[in-house]
């Protein structure tokens, strides 16, 4: 059973370009979570999606960032008009259902390292 | 608000010795889970151990054990018999039932260096 897959693993973009990060959850998982890790910091929650629905996006910057999880295909985190401050590692996690109560596991992907030049 | 505090930016340990990485947390939830993750230089997040707030026994997974002191709101990670491959960043994390249940809150991390 393949784990959470993210691609690309490394992405370099010039300021002003768009970055598209993809996440394929584990087989059978319908819940996806995106986290951002700035250099020398812990991960910060960005957004929680189920198929075709954004459940919570309280951690997403108000502008330039969007996320989707279509009925078919991977979840996409899209960053428009990237700036140097967007340089970070972006992690996706998935779970088979809501991991309420603190129980259960969110399975993390290997991350995408975005560098904005 | 939920918060995780890791006060040790860096720790050194001699190979084959035990080391304790500190973690304190703050939450108003009654039901929550505590996690430790390892992040080696390659960057992936590796799940190590989980402790539920209602678990009476401290969690153990191989060489990892979680010293859970609920009244003090601490969840320290103990690594026994350190190995060179244990050199990495270690993150303490938490999820609570009443604050969404899906947002994992991470500490700033502790970088562990294992000396030969």
- Asked if A42 and B4 come within 8 Å (Cβ–Cβ), the reply is yes
- Asked if B102 and A31 come within 8 Å (Cβ–Cβ), the reply is yes
**Percent share of chain A, pLDDT over 70:** 93
Query: Are the beta carbons of B39 and B93 closer than 8 angstroms?
Result: no
- Asked if A42 and B106 come within 8 Å (Cβ–Cβ), the reply is yes
Query: Residues 44 to 63 of A: which have CB under 8 A from any B CB?
Result: 44-45, 48, 55-56, 58-59
Q: For B12-61, what is each residue's pLDDT tens digit?
A: 999 999 999 999 999 988 889 999 999 999 999 999 999 999 998 999 99
Task: Identify the residue whose tokens are 């108003």.
Answer: B28
Distance CA B108, CA B5 (A): 7
For residue A88, what pLDDT is reported? 97
- Asked if A110 and B43 come within 8 Å (Cβ–Cβ), the reply is yes
Q: For A13-60, what is each residue's pLDDT tens digit?
A: 999 999 999 999 999 888 999 999 998 889 999 999 999 999 999 999
CB atoms within 10 A of CB B46: 13
Residue pairs between chains A and B whose CB atoms are closer than 8 Å: 78
Torsion angle of C-alpha atoms A45, B94, B51, B109, degrees rounded to 10: 90
For residue A1, what pLDDT is reported? 53
Q: Is the pLDDT of residue A99 over 80?
A: no
Cross-strand partners of B96: B32
**Plot region of B43 (φ>0 → left; ψ -120 to 50 → alpha; else → beta):** left
Q: How confident is the model at residue B99 (pLDDT cuts 50, 70, 90)?
A: low
Query: Are the beta carbons of A5 and A24 closer than 8 angstroms?
Result: yes
CB atoms within 10 A of CB A33: 28
- Average pLDDT of the residues of chain A: 91
Residues of chain B in contact with residue A98, where contact means CB-CB under 8 angstroms, are 101-102
């Amino acid at each position: 059973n393949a784990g959470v897959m993210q691609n690309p693993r490394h992405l370099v973009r010039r300021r002003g370009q768009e970055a598209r990060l993809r996440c394929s959850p584990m087989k059978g998982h319908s819940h996806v979570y995106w986290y951002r890790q700035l250099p020398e910091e812990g991960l910060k929650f960005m957004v929680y999606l189920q198929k075709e629905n954004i459940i919570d996006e309280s951690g997403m910057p108000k502008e330039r960032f969007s996320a989707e999880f279509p009925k078919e295909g991977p979840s996409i985190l899209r960053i428009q008009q990237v700036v140097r401050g967007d340089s970070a590692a972006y992690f996706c996690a998935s779970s088979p259902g809501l991991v309420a109560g603190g129980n259960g596991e969110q399975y993390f992907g290997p991350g995408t390292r975005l560098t904005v030049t | 608000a939920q918060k995780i505090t890791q006060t040790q930016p860096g720790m050194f340990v001699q190979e084959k010795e035990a080391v304790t990485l500190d973690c304190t947390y703050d939450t108003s939830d009654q039901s929550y889970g505590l996690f430790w993750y390892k992040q080696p230089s390659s960057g992936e997040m590796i799940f190590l151990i989980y402790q539920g707030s209602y678990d009476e026994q401290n969690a153990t997974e191989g060489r990892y054990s979680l010293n859970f002191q609920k009244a003090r709101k601490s969840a320290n990670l103990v690594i026994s018999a350190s190995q060179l491959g244990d050199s990495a960043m270690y993150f303490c994390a938490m999820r609570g039932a009443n604050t969404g249940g899906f947002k994992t809150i991470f500490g700033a991390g502790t970088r562990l260096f294992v000396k030969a």
